[in-house]
């Protein structure tokens, strides 16, 4: 399941290039401006803050409800509960913060959309002329993932990301510092300062992409035996308690991850530089298996809309995004050993 928001009878999603697996939203030839992205992505709806009441009608003066309004101004959905001093912002305001990246540095919108009832929003911004190729034919492009919410859980942030064309897995960039590479976008009224900030952001993302390319190429040449793969997977998906026999659920997840390293989407391409005759795989294939598992398999295993939404959000913004990042870091350490 996809959990793309549908508002006023239209999905809140637009994209260019390859059609996503859920086949929803509006495909356009190019998304080159903020105004076009908002229009094509159905992101022009309004959010507002309203008084909060308990079920019995008692007011809660310390908090407020964040809501989405319908086209006629009526309440359409509650998005979250926020503090009384929280100031709502519209999608256009969030995107305005990165206008210099679009207007001055050639970023375009690969995708833009909203999840759930509109409480979480994102825009995958493609960097101009930035890509690396760990193995022949495997193109990893440079992107910035802009993320914001209307439920008070997060501000506007930018995450350096690579999107693997073959299987559309999202990979966090390998920074030498080991940081997660979140860039908090500041609102600047001074145009010169905003341009300086945008230039610094582009430099940081470009440098991270170069480092990622070096890392991915090294991973593609590193052969992991079955024993090494098994030991590594146990660090990615640990038992519920240290020293205990893994549960049936953990064992099944580990087995699936091992399977994807050999047979997942693009596995043949990712393994082309290593000898796999005895079940070995490349470290690059192992990393791609991790992203395929947490980005696609886990959400597909969910049993309800709520758990699917949670799995999708976790893969991009939450704990499973951190698992993928830690998996990358552990593979880098394994290669360096």
Query: What phi and psi values does residue 161 have, to the nearest 5 degrees?
Result: -145, 150
Task: Check whether 177 has a pLDDT greater than 50.
Answer: no
Residue-level pLDDT at 187? 53
Polymer length in residues for the chain: 337
Percent of the chain with pLDDT over 70: 89
CA distance 286 to 280: 10
Task: Check whether 228 has a pLDDT greater than 90.
Answer: yes
Q: Which of 220, 221, 224, 181 is nearest to 204 (CA)?
A: 181
Cβ burial, residue 85 (10 Å; 0-12/13-18/19+): exposed
Range of weakest confidence among 18-27, 69-78, 258-267: 18-27
- The partner residues of 318 in beta bridges, in order of sequence, read none
Q: Which of 76, 201, 191 is nearest to 145 (CA)?
A: 201
Residue-level pLDDT at 169? 64
**Total-model pTM:** 0.77
Do 104 and 195 contact (CB within 8 A), yes or no? yes
Task: Identify the DSSP state of 173.
Answer: -
User: Beta strand 13-15 with 26-27: parallel, antiparallel or unpaired?
Assistant: parallel
Task: Check whether 179 has a pLDDT greater than 50.
Answer: no
Structural domain spans, the chain: 6-52+65-215, 222-336
Specify the DSSP element, H or E, that contains 59.
strand 59-69
Task: Check whether 264 has a pLDDT greater than 50.
Answer: yes
Q: How would residue 186 be classed by pLDDT, with cut points 50, 70 and 90?
A: low
CA distance 26 to 42: 9
Mean local confidence (pLDDT), 120-139:
87
Give Rg (Cα) of the chain: 21
Task: Check whether 20 has a pLDDT greater than 90.
Answer: no
Report in angstroms the alpha-carbon separations of 191 from 121, 134, 183, 194, 258: 25, 38, 19, 5, 50
Q: How would residue 312 be classed by pLDDT, with cut points 50, 70 and 90?
A: confident
Mean local confidence (pLDDT), 46-54:
94
Task: Check whether 180 has a pLDDT greater than 60.
Answer: no
Output the average pLDDT for the chain: 85
Q: Among all chains, which residue has been given the structure tokens 């190429």?
A: 217
CA distance 53 to 103: 43
CA distance 298 to 312: 8
Do 64 and 80 contact (CB within 8 A), yes or no? no
CA distance 318 to 312: 9
Task: Check whether 216 has a pLDDT greater than 50.
Answer: yes
Mean local confidence (pLDDT), 39-43:
97
Task: Check whether 59 has a pLDDT greater than 70.
Answer: yes
């Amino acid at each position: 399941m996809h959990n793309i928001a549908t508002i006023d009878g239209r999905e809140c999603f637009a994209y260019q290039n390859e059609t996503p697996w859920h086949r929803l939203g509006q495909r356009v030839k190019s998304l080159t401006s903020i105004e076009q992205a908002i229009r094509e992505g159905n992101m022009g709806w309004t959010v507002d803050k309203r008084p909060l009441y308990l079920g019995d009608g008692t007011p809660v003066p310390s908090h407020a409800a964040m809501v989405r309004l319908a086209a006629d101004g009526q309440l359409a959905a509650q998005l979250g509960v926020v503090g009384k001093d929280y100031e709502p912002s519209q999608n256009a305001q969030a995107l305005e913060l990165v206008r210099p990246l679009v207007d001055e540095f050639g970023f375009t919108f690969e995708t833009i959309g909203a999840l759930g009832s509109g409480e979480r929003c994102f825009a995958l911004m493609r960097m101009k002329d930035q890509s690396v190729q760990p193995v022949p034919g495997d193109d990893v492009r440079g992107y910035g993932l802009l993320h914001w919410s209307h439920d008070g859980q997060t501000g506007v942030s930018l995450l350096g990301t690579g999107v693997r064309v073959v299987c559309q897995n999202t990979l966090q960039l390998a920074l030498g510092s080991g940081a997660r590479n979140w860039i908090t976008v500041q609102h600047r009224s001074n145009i010169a300062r905003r341009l300086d900030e945008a230039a610094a952001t582009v430099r940081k993302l470009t440098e991270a992409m170069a480092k990622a390319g070096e890392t991915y190429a090294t991973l593609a040449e590193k052969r992991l035996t079955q024993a090494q793969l098994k030991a590594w997977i146990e660090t990615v998906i640990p038992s519920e308690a240290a020293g205990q026999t893994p549960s049936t659920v953990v064992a099944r997840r580990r087995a699936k991850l091992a399977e994807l390293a050999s047979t997942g989407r693009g596995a043949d391409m990712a393994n082309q530089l290593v000898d796999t005759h005895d079940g070995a795989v490349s470290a690059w294939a192992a990393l791609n298996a991790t992203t395929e598992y947490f980005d696609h398999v886990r959400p597909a295993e969910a049993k309800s809309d709520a758990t699917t939404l949670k799995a999708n959000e976790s893969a991009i913004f939450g704990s499973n995004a951190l698992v993928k990042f830690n998996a990358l870091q552990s593979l880098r350490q394994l290669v360096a050993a």
